[in-house]
C-alpha cells in the first residue's frame, strides 16, 4: 500500500477508516482539521513525514480489520448516514456522558485533595457536556430531520433557516469548540495517564475519557468531512 503525503486527513480516513486510530496515536487531527494535508499535519506536530507515511502504509497492509464494517458508513447516502450517527455516536454519548459525569464526581471527591488538578479536569468535562448535549439535540430535532426531508424531496424544500448551509455552519463552529475542549482535557489529564495512586474508579474514568475523545473525533469526522459536504452538494443539485 502507498499513501500520498499530500492527501487531506479527512479524505484519508474516509478511504481508510482503520487509520483513524493510527492518526489518533500521533495526535493528527482528522476531524476538525480534516482539510489539512498529511504533510502539513506532520510538519505542525514536528513528526517525521517519511516515517509516518511508511508506518501508515504498513498499518494498512498488516493490520487485520473487518473492511466491510469499517467502511460501511463511508458509502452511506445522507439519510442513512444520519440514522447511523444517531444509532451509534449519539446513542453512545447519551449513555456515556452521565456515566463519566458520575465517575468524575467520584474521583474528585476521593482524590481531589491529593490531586488538585482534578478540579480543572472536572470543570473542563462539565463544559464539554454543556456544549455537547444541546448540540446533539439540535442535530436530532432540527438538522437531521431537515436532511431526511431534503433526501426524499424532488426540489429543495423551503426551510425556516434558508439554506442548510446555515445550520451546518453553526454545527461546524460547535464542533471546533468541542475539539478544543477535548484537547484541553487531554492536556489536563497528561494524555489520560492515571497516577500511581489512582483507584479502579480513577482508571475507569480516564479510560472512559480516552474512549470519549476517540469516538467523538470519529463522530465529528463523519459529519464534517462526509455528511455535511454531501448535504451541501445535494441541496445545490435540487435548487
Low-confidence winner among 9-18, 115-124, 132-141, 214-223 (lowest mean pLDDT): 9-18
Q: 134, exposed or middle or buried, with CB in 10 Å at 0-12, 13-18, 19+?
A: exposed
Q: Residue 55's pLDDT is what?
A: 93
Q: Which residues pair with 37 in a beta bridge?
A: 8
Q: Tell me what the mean pLDDT of segment 203-215 comes to.
A: 93
Distances (CA, A) of 191 to 18, 41, 113, 121, 206: 22, 19, 21, 12, 9
Is a pLDDT exceeding 80 seen at residue 62? Answer: no
Q: Residue 65's pLDDT is what?
A: 43
Is a pLDDT exceeding 60 seen at residue 159? Answer: yes
In whole numbers, what is the pLDDT of the chain averaged over residues? 91
Q: How far is Cα 21 from Cα 13, in angstroms, rounded to an integer?
A: 10
Q: Residue 14's pLDDT is what?
A: 83
Cα 162–chain centre separation: 27
End-to-end CA distance of the chain: 41
| pLDDT class of 16 with cuts at 50, 70, 90 | confident
**The C-alpha cell of 236 is what?**
445545490
Q: What is the pTM of this model?
A: 0.81
Q: How far is Cα 31 from Cα 179, in angstroms, rounded to an integer?
A: 8
Is a pLDDT exceeding 50 seen at residue 67? Answer: no
171-174 — which CB contacts under 8 Å span 24+ positions? 171/135, 171/138, 171/139, 171/143, 171/223, 171/228, 172/224, 172/228, 174/131, 174/135
Distances (CA, A) of 25 to 19, 32, 55: 10, 16, 12
Q: Other CB atoms closer than 10 Å to residue 149's CB: what's the count?
A: 14
Q: Residue 188's pLDDT is what?
A: 97
Under 8 Å between Cβ of 56 and 2: no
Pick from 53, 59, 28, 236: which is nearest to 150 by CA?
236
Q: Give 88-119 pLDDT, tens digit per residue.
A: 999 999 999 999 999 999 999 999 999 999 99
Q: Residue 63's pLDDT is what?
A: 52
CA atoms within 13 A on the CB side of 21: 8
| pLDDT class of 3 with cuts at 50, 70, 90 | very high
Low-confidence winner among 7-11, 118-122, 138-142 (lowest mean pLDDT): 7-11
Q: Residue 56's pLDDT is what?
A: 93
Supply φ then ψ for residue 31, to 5 degrees. -95, -80
Under 8 Å between Cβ of 218 and 18: no
Q: What is the DSSP letter of 170?
A: H
Q: 139, exposed or middle or buried, with CB in 10 Å at 0-12, 13-18, 19+?
A: buried
Amino acid at each position: 500500500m502507498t499513501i500520498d503525503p499530500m492527501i487531506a486527513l479527512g479524505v484519508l480516513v474516509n478511504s481508510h477508516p482503520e487509520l483513524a486510530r493510527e492518526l489518533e496515536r500521533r495526535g493528527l487531527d482528522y476531524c476538525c482539521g480534516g482539510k489539512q494535508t498529511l504533510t502539513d499535519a506532520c510538519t505542525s506536530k514536528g513528526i517525521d513525514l517519511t516515517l509516518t507515511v511508511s508506518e501508515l502504509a504498513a498499518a494498512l497492509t498488516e493490520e487485520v480489520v473487518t473492511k466491510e464494517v469499517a467502511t460501511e458508513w463511508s458509502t452511506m447516502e445522507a439519510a442513512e448516514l444520519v440514522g447511523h450517527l444517531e444509532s451509534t455516536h449519539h446513542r453512545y454519548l447519551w449513555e456515556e456522558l452521565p456515566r463519566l459525569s458520575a465517575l468524575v464526581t467520584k474521583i474528585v471527591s476521593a482524590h481531589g485533595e491529593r490531586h488538585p488538578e482534578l478540579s480543572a479536569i472536572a470543570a473542563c468535562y462539565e463544559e464539554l457536556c454543556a456544549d455537547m448535549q444541546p448540540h446533539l439535540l439540535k442535530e436530532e430535532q432540527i438538522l437531521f430531520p431537515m436532511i431526511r426531508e431534503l433526501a426524499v424531496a424532488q426540489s429543495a424544500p423551503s426551510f425556516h433557516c434558508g439554506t442548510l448551509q446555515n445550520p451546518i455552519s453553526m454545527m461546524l463552529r460547535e464542533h471546533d469548540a468541542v475539539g478544543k475542549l477535548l484537547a484541553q482535557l487531554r492536556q489536563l489529564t497528561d494524555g489520560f495517564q492515571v497516577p500511581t495512586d489512582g483507584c479502579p474508579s480513577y482508571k475507569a474514568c480516564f479510560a472512559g475519557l480516552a474512549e470519549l475523545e476517540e469516538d467523538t473525533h470519529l463522530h465529528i469526522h463523519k459529519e464534517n468531512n462526509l455528511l455535511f459536504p454531501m448535504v451541501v452538494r445535494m441541496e445545490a443539485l435540487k435548487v
